[in-house]
Structure 1
Amino acid sequence: MALTTQSFESPQALTEAFAAQLVSILSDGIAKRGRASLVVSGGRTPLALFQTLSNADLEWDKVDVTLADERWVDEADDASNTRLVRENLIQNKASVANFVTLKTDHSDAKDGIGEAESRVANLAQPFDALILGMGEDGHTASLFPCSEQVEAGLDMDSGRVCIAVQPTTAPHQRISLTLPALLNSRNIFLHLTGESKKDVLTDALSGATEVQKPITAVVNRAPVTLMWAP
């Protein structure tokens, strides 16, 4: 287990420092390999980070952006992570980034897996930076401990990049990058705010199994930087 924690006095201080780190990582990727890739998560926590990044000086036309997971809803739906990213990150200077969605036109996420995996395969990999969140149940991306698909999503030998997930404790069918796909990243960040989320992480890492708290599967296998503010 290799968890490094960067703590900040406020969410605003976290946002400013995190954005600067990401710009440095992506700039380095562009300089070394011609393109860089960023995998983000949805939710309320990263909104300020996305908005700050959208105004950053970066060769955004050389940056691929995709999601760690997506709810299987139309982009016009308020629950759409794609909509959230388009409205908050793919704006301003970042409007020219190559944003690749996981959602397809299929009515069932299981039928869209092949197309989603083909889209991801065209992105610069290993991903330069992955930003994960975590739920109160210890899920990350859409690897939910309550779902029948959690073990398949954590399987390091499946060969799958994406998986369809049906949580029982949260609405909407989902599509998620699998654990091996998430780990295919040069820099992995866990972005949390609030004491309660930090307590959930501490409890998860103190003895929960990977199926019980899927976030532990990431921390157990790769260096992860926790970006946290109260």
Structure 2
Amino acid sequence: MKPSVEVLPDKAALIERSLVVVVERLESAIAARGQCTIALSGGGTPRPLYEALAQQPLPWDKVHVFWGDERYVPADHPDSNEGMARQAWLDHVPLPPENIHPMPTDEADPAVAAAKHAAQLQDFFGTAPGEFPQFDVILLGIGDDGHTASLFPHTQALQVCDRLVTVGNKDGQPRITFTVPLLNCARSVVFMVAGASKQAALDHIFAPTDDDNLYPARLVRPQQECLWLLDSAAGAKLSHEVA
């Protein structure tokens, strides 16, 4: 499905629009299936969204929270995506502890942790080996280099198509990440992108032809909804195409 792109006036508008989008999809999932599943992204851009979600009167017992990727550090480490989301959002709402599904980062071998989390996902969703579960919402961002989740340019993780979770690599540091086919099974993928430093990567990501291995976000092509929400700084060079 062709992605939908919205360029918002500024960062505040980006957060406001993201909040509306996420809440609508979570509520729709609960209405349709009795619960919702959302996978979170890390980094600075989504933190204000998480803080805003903490103020929403959602039926939290029906919300299940996952992560699309995680740095291989403990949850109390300043770089932890889980830790950031807990501080900004999860610790401030009555979300049952069993509804929070962090990626394990306590194994000596990150590959063992990746396999462990894949098994946890299969158990939660009731999927068979080789079958990919369907998240209701997956939040993603991009780096200046065009990476998304922990799928970095020209890394082995980009080629993994037979697993749900794999080991990403950032400058020699391991990370745990959803694989491309798992991302592409989501009912809704929502990219949040802010800042002028993302313009060059976006030009390549949205080019009709380019190198998927150099700009991994190009590989995210879900069969259902793919929504790109950009602030004006990030989307300045794309705004004329969107209008």
**Same fold per superposition (TM over 0.5):** yes
Quote the Cα distance in structure 2 between the aligned partners of 1:119 and 1:85.
Answer: 20
Q: Which residue of 1 aligns with 2:68?
A: 68
- Listed as ranges, the matches of 1:34-183 within 5 Å are 34-93=34-93, 95-96=95-96, 98-123=99-124, 125-147=133-155, 149-153=156-160, 155=161, 158=162, 160-168=163-171, 172-183=173-184
Asked if 1 retains the 8 angstrom alpha-carbon contact of 2:184 and 2:221, the reply is: no
Q: After superposing the two structures, state which structure 1 stretch, 74-83 or 115-124, moved more.
A: 115-124
Tell me the CA shift for residue 219 of structure 1: 3.7
* 2:229 alignment partner, one of 207, 223, 227: 227
Q: Which residue of 2 aligns with 1:194?
A: 195
Tell me the CA shift for residue 123 of structure 1: 4.2
Asked if 2 retains the 8 angstrom alpha-carbon contact of 1:19 and 1:49, the reply is: yes
- Which runs of 5 or more residues in structure 1 are unaligned? none
Give CA-to-partner distance per residue, 1:162-207, whole Å, 9 cap, x none: 0012223xx6310100011111211111110123313311123323
Q: Which residue of 1 aligns with 2:215?
A: 213
Q: CA RMSD in A?
A: 1.9
- Runs (4+) of structure 1 exceeding 3 A deviation are 94-97, 122-125, 219-223
Task: Report the CA distance shift for 1:64/1:123 in structure 2 as closer, same or farther (over 3 A).
Answer: farther
Q: After superposing the two structures, state which structure 1 stretch, 99-108 or 119-128, moved more.
A: 119-128
- Which runs of 5 or more residues in structure 2 are unaligned? 126-132, 234-243
The number of residue pairs the alignment matches comes to 223
SS in structure 2 opposite 1:166?
strand
TM-score w.r.t. structure 2 length?
A: 0.85
Kindly provide the amino acid, as one letter, of the partner of residue 157 in structure 2.
V
Kindly provide the amino acid, as one letter, of the partner of residue 220 in structure 2.
V
Give CA-to-partner distance per residue, 1:34-66, whole Å, 9 cap, x none: 110111110000010010011111111111111
Q: Which residue of 1 aligns with 2:128?
A: none
Kindly provide the amino acid, as one letter, of the partner of residue 200 in structure 1.
A
Quote the Cα distance in structure 2 between the aligned partners of 1:13 and 1:134.
Answer: 18
